[in-house]
Amino acid sequence: MSSEDKEAQEDELLALASIYDEDEFKRAQSVQGGETRISVELPKNFTLFLSGNQTETLLNKFECTVCFLPPIVLNFEFPADYPSSSPPAFTLSSKWLSQTQLTALCKHLDNIWEENRGSVVLFAWIQFLKEEALTYLNITSPYEPKICGQEKEQRRTDKEEACYGATDGATAQEESLDARAVQDVESLSSLIREILDFDHAQQEKCFNSKMHACNICFSEKLGSECMYFLDCRHVYCKACLKDYFEIQIKDGQVHCLNCPEPQCPCVATPGQVKELVGEQLFARYDRLLLQSSLDLMSDVVYCPRPCCQTPVMQEPCCTMGICSNCNYAFCTVCKMTYHGVSPCKISSEKLMELRDEYLAADETTKRFLEQRYGKRVIEKALEEMESKEWLERNSKLCPSCGTPIEVSSGRE
């Protein structure tokens, strides 16, 4: 290695280390080389589209808009005579670019070297991949990634032939794939997960590094001290949201942890609530949220014993519930000890509610109520209502004892 080449290599590595942070560039320890992770610049509202026919496990179409895609990874090593004579040895890997697309990029990197032979070339390679890769590959939104011909020790199937084109051209295309091009992904399902996770992490990183105005206290704070609602993107500082969440949870309003912006329907996620409130309050929030969800389920009742209150699944066409916690067998209608086929014993308040429900019901519902509570119980409720109405029309209360007395022939 000439002193000029050695100096040029060292200067280039130092320059890359000063330009890019540790997440983007890592220098190799044992050789003159390293790894760069290049995030491609995406246009606004860039959409990924995955169709169900690419894999048996992906039954429906999948579509999402992302701001970031997992980086293209360039691993390189300098030969002794770089940059005077030879280019860097490299591999190019990606999760969302096919081996065919990566092969095209590898060839273009070779062309960039030929145009700049004798000079350092890594920065030009990185800038091309970052700023021009999409245009060079004619990738536009919506973009559908392909996973074809990459799996190791897998024979070419009809699915791969459909991806590559005609059968006659498949062998030639396989032979033309560059060994330096690696599509580093196991399946479409793992690709989806990695894309969404990376996009979320990068958006969080960008948010945390910028200043934002809290819409409650109107102070400017760093993003790491703020939180935004996922759907509406309204931003508030964590201190204000913490106070807001704690008040609502203490009042039992677990379904009211929505965005404080007037008329905004967006709701905080359980993860956001957990991040801000203490462990004890979050346990209360979690318990109340579960209870309110169970309350909306028609086949869930609660053990009527005050010391238990465990949720119990109600069996279809059966009015008996057995608590899994205390083994109490009860009627799911009247919440008393299970009484078999005998009618429920109903309180006077419940009797009035039943009477009103029965009078407003259609014939099918009336038959159902008669089967559940007993026809005689409902008749009794109706008789009591008629008696009460007759007394109101034809009597008045005794001024001494309050007993209803009948008005007779115009005399009191």
Domains plus CATH for the chain? 3-201 (3.10.110.10), 210-295 (3.30.40.10), 299-342 (2.20.25), 348-406 (no CATH)
196 vs 18: CA distance, rounded Å:
30
**pTM of this structure:** 0.61
pLDDT at 68: 94
Instruction: State percent of the chain over pLDDT 90.
Output: 39
pLDDT in tens, 271-304: 889 999 988 888 888 888 777 766 666 577 788 8
Residue that is written with structure tokens 């346990």 in the block: 283
Whether residue 349 is predicted with pLDDT greater than 70 in this model: the reply is no
Q: What is the mean pLDDT of residues 253-263?
A: 85
Q: What is the mean pLDDT of residues 175-179?
A: 84
- What are the C-alpha distances in Å from 380 to residues 243, 341, 346, 371, 394? 53, 19, 11, 15, 21
pLDDT at 379: 73
pLDDT at 298: 59
Query: Would you place residue 154 in the very low, low, confident or very high pLDDT band (cuts 50, 70, 90)?
Result: very low
Whether residue 55 is predicted with pLDDT greater than 50 in this model: the reply is no
Q: What is the mean pLDDT of residues 106-134?
A: 95
pLDDT at 279: 87
Per this entry, what is the length of the chain?
412
Give the type of residue at 243: D
Q: Please name the residues in contact with 35: beta carbons below 8 A apart, sequence gap of 6 or more.
A: 25, 26, 28, 73, 74, 75, 76
pLDDT at 160: 43
- What are the C-alpha distances in Å from 216 to residues 173, 209, 212, 262, 272? 60, 20, 12, 11, 17
pLDDT at 42: 93
